[in-house]
Amino acid sequence: MAKENRRRKKQKFGKTNPMAH
């Protein structure tokens, strides 16, 4: 998910763990 990580950083990872990846 390295591709969607930088794209939906605040949509998906912003709620769960923003500094997880």
pLDDT for 6 beyond 60: yes
**Measured between alpha carbons, how far is 21 from 12 in angstroms, rounded to an integer?**
12
So what's the pLDDT on residue 17?
62
The pair of structure tokens assigned to 2 is 């390295």
The Cα–Cα gap between 18 and 10 comes to 8
Tokens read off for 16: 């769960």
Whole-number average pLDDT of the chain: 61
- Predicted pLDDT at 14: 59
Is pLDDT of 2 > 60? yes
Taking residues 1-10, report their average pLDDT.
Answer: 62
Residue 1 has pLDDT above 60, yes or no: no
